[in-house]
Copies of this chain bind each other. A is one copy, B any other.
Amino acid sequence: MNQIEIGRGKRGRRAYSFDDIAVVPSRRTRDPEEVSVSWQIDAYHFDLPVIAAPMDSVMSPESAIAFGKLGGLPVLDLEGLWTRYDDPTFLLAEIASLDPSAATARLQQIYAEPIKPELITERLRAVREAGVTVAGALSPQRTQEFWQNVVDAGCDLFVIRGTTVSAEHVSSRAEPLNLKRFIYELDVPVIVGGVSSYTAALHLMRTGAAGVLVGFGGGAAHTTRLTLGIHAPMASAIADVAAARRDYMDESGGRYVHVIADGGMGRSGEIVKAIACGADAVMLGAALARATDAPGRGYHWGSEAHHALLPRGERVEVGALAPLEEILLGPGRMADGTTNLMGALRRAMATTGYSDLKEFQRVEVVVAPYQPG
Contacts and interface: CB of A to CB of B under 8 A. Distances in A.
**Copy total for this chain:** 4
Interface in A111-159: none
Interface string A243-263: 111100000000000000000
Given A10-B277, A196-B25, A239-B9, A19 B228 contact: no
A197 B372 contact: no
A226 interface: yes
Nearest to A5: B2
Given A164-B25, A226-B269, A310 B370 contact: no
Nearest to A103: B335
Contact of A31 (B34, B171, B276): B171
Interface string A12-31: 11111111111111111111
B216 A27 contact: no
Nearest to A315: B335
Given A5-B2, A104-B333, A225-B22, A10 B239 contact: yes
A167 interface: yes
Nearest to A304: B335
A219 interface: no
Nearest to A267: B226
A309 interface: yes
Chain A, interface size category, equals 35 or more
A290 interface: no
A307 B334 CA distance: 11
B278 A228 contact: no
27 contacts: A6-B16, A9-B278, A10-B238, A14-B367, A14-B368, A15-B24, A17-B371, A22-B232, A24-B196, A24-B231, A25-B164, A25-B196, A29-B164, A29-B169, A34-B171, A166-B353, A170-B353, A227-B269, A230-B272, A230-B351, A236-B366, A307-B332, A309-B332, A311-B335, A314-B335, A369-B371, A370-B373
Interface of A: 1-2, 4-10, 12-31, 33-34, 104-105, 163-173, 195-200, 203, 216, 223, 225-233, 235-246, 267-273, 276-278, 304-305, 307-314, 330-337, 340, 343-344, 347-348, 351-353, 355, 364-373
